[in-house]
Structure 1
Amino acid sequence: MLTLVADFQQNKPLVLNPKFVQGLKSILIDSSLDKEFIAKAITLPGEGEIMDMMKVADPDAVHAVSSFIRKQLASEMRAELLNIVENNRSSEAYEFNHPNMARRALKNIALAYLASLQDEESATLALNEYKSATNMTDQFAALEGIAQNPGKTREEVLADFYNKWQDNFLVVNKWFALQARADIPGNVENMRNLLNHPTFDLSNPNKVYALIGGFVGSPVNFHAKDGSGYKFLGEIVVQLEKVNPQVASQMVSAFSRWRRYDETRQSLAKAQLEMIVSANGLSENVFEIASKSLAV
């Protein structure tokens, strides 16, 4: 994957190794393998993991390559992935045991790959899986695929899911986190809207971890090159610090590795740290982490 990242940075065409594709395809069709193992074997590493392996982290290149690999695999293994989704559906009552957990995990990772294609057939499949789901796990997995594609359907399904599960605060937190880590362009504006959602409470640590913590875990939007993600977090830390300094100190730590990025991002992140440090009445915890991050 790092080789492809380097190719992207040098404006070279991205080409996926056919042996890699064939290797994953052979795993997909091997019925002798445990379904949980297959699900884990075909799961790509997170973008944060890849950036940790780089001397200078490049969120744009890593995201572009990760998206390319996911879509290319989905395209070349489409038939196999569709078979997995179709053969691992179940209308039976939810059961918490290994065979059923493994079946759901495999079906849902296959569905996620197909959803990445962002074509009409895959969008229809994800929507049908959402509507026919007999449990929250499968319904949420379908929602994850739908939520990566901006548009009317996304908004309608997100609203429908919330209406179904609004009385379950744990599920609502998952709903917040899902939207926070979405890779859709300009997600900062959606984040600002979610801050005003009736069930979001800045004084509730779990809500903050779900929404704000979810956002900083999304490289494509938190590390947006225009600095909008950094600015959003800086503003939130200053607000949060007045309500819960301990949680604010954990959120500001997202800036602690700012020197690992390119000069443009370094400058933008540093500006937010300086803004936080200069805020009036700053708590000791937040000041310590922000000032140490600047000094490193």
Structure 2
Amino acid sequence: MLALALVIPLASGTAQASSPANHVRPADRTVTSSRVLAVPGTVNARDIGGYRTYDGKTTRWGVLYRSETLSRLPPEGVNALAGLGLGSVIDLRTAPEMQADGADRLPAGVTSIVQPVDDTSLFAFIGMVVRSKDPVYQQQQLGAGKADARMEALYRAFVTNPANRAALGAAIRTVANANKPTMFHCSAGKDRTGILADTILRAVGVPASTSEGDYLLSNQLRAASDAALKSQLKAAGFMQDPDLLDPLLQVRSSYLGAFRTQAVADYGSLGNFLTEGLGLDALTLFKLRSRIVG
């Protein structure tokens, strides 16, 4: 989902919540560190290390990170990012998102790799519905399960859209061939970022249930900022019932299930989706596991 601050002119400073209490400074990171990164300007930046695989190994800390957009980082956020030693950042946002929110603010020497994954016009749709300020229209567009259905359709399109598959495959190849830590993100760091993280984790042998837990963690980390955003939308007169946005602001098991089910329906198995759908060869998958799992 897109950060609504990108499409709705809200007062500055209210869309970002304070950092969760379990944030840690990059300099303090060890193999037992908190998963959540202390990068000012983000609420959903984290390490995907520490997950056990089927064969009893563990994904490495400090190798692969996921986040929301990095376009609103203050200088101290850029400095915190520099402490991660990143070589590249993969940006999954579309051109309209980047035009609205700006390019990532990255430390010197970090390469930005743009691999846009289509949002099925969700960015434009959210802006249109919220800016209408019409509670009847908003109910018609988002109520009675329509917002949930739209999100499930978005997740299925991650599989059915050839350009999406190409972008996801290219992103995974970048991770597999990297020689420095890598970060990937979209706008809110939960949908496109979530399915890329899920695909990578399962590809290297992390159980589906564990990977789903990583996916659902976005709800916890984004809860405060989402609540603040809804409160402001109501106070500003954009929405009488901002809870209509919950299906768009949250991640849900049914969304991830739609993605996984579509991949199996189209390709028969996760393995076939990786090789036939995403175009990943055996050597790339070997490199990916060698890179991520220790």
TM-score norm. by structure 1 comes to 0.27
Q: Which has the higher strand share?
A: 2
Q: Which has the higher contact order (CA 8 A, sep 6+)?
A: 2
- Calculate the TM-score normalised by the size of structure 2: 0.27
> Which protein has the bigger helix share?
1
